[in-house]
A = this chain, B = another copy of it.
């Protein structure tokens, strides 16, 4: 497959730090086209040592650089853009994680403002080889499997330019491990070309991404885009062999869960003919949930319906 793909290369001077309609596309692809996209890690690949000072490296709002916008020919407002991920390769022999003061799930933040002294900054490098991640050479824990995904993927809103740190109805920084090879993501098209942005590769991540940082990596991914003309998705959907999934991003977290389940119920009704209140009651017996992040500008929750329970008639 790769022999014929068009490669899209990052221009390190041309990252996107917002997802919006105002930046010129870095590339154009066609519906059905398979292509390669490269992404820098969330820190612009600038961390090279555990001694690096994360507070110096982060210069808001220039964090979480995205590759894009990628213009998809023929995409129009009201369509759905689908992105099938074939592979995500890491282009470096290590990942990075960090503790960032005033950022994370178990500390005061710029939103959950407290007078407590902040946690200290800290950087760790995590060697990656042979499909395995070494968390620490000091702490003898089992290797972590390399299970890569894009932390951030999204399409441009019509007028807003949304920070690359934020998830939302447009996708964005959902930190959802289901945005991984083998799965297909559905995103809303709000402007001509859709304007796909992608980045924030993770070699591994715990549910909730509790300290705020996963095993951050630069990547080379192989993707296929396509369009569902004239059908709008209100919030990102992900489809795997096993699950129909919807992603809700909001605060408080229960609103993220409400959005995700509401959209899942509506999907089951509109596409699979299960009356909505029956779908609601069925989800209460069989649904699965991933808490994708509890650290970003909005929290993300994934509601999952096992496809084995789709009605057979």
Which A residues fall within an 8 A CB radius of B?
17-18, 20, 22, 61, 97, 99, 104-108, 110-120, 122, 124, 126, 133, 135-136, 139-142, 144, 157-163, 204-215, 248, 250-255, 257-259, 261-263, 265, 274, 276-278, 280-291, 294, 299, 301, 303, 308-313
Contacts and interface: CB of A to CB of B under 8 A. Distances in A.
Given A142-B312, A261-B210, A262-B114, A97 B287 contact: no
Given A135-B282, A210-B261, A281-B122, A309 B255 contact: no
A214 B281 CA distance: 8
Nearest to A261: B210
A312 B140 contact: yes
Most buried by B among A110, A124, A274, A284: A284
Contacts of A141: 282, 309-312
A262 B212 CA distance: 14
Protomer copies: 4
Contacts of A276: 115
Contacts of A215: 285
A254 B257 contact: no
Contact of A257 (B117, B290, B291, B313): B291
A114 B124 contact: no
Contact of A286 (B17, B204, B274): B204
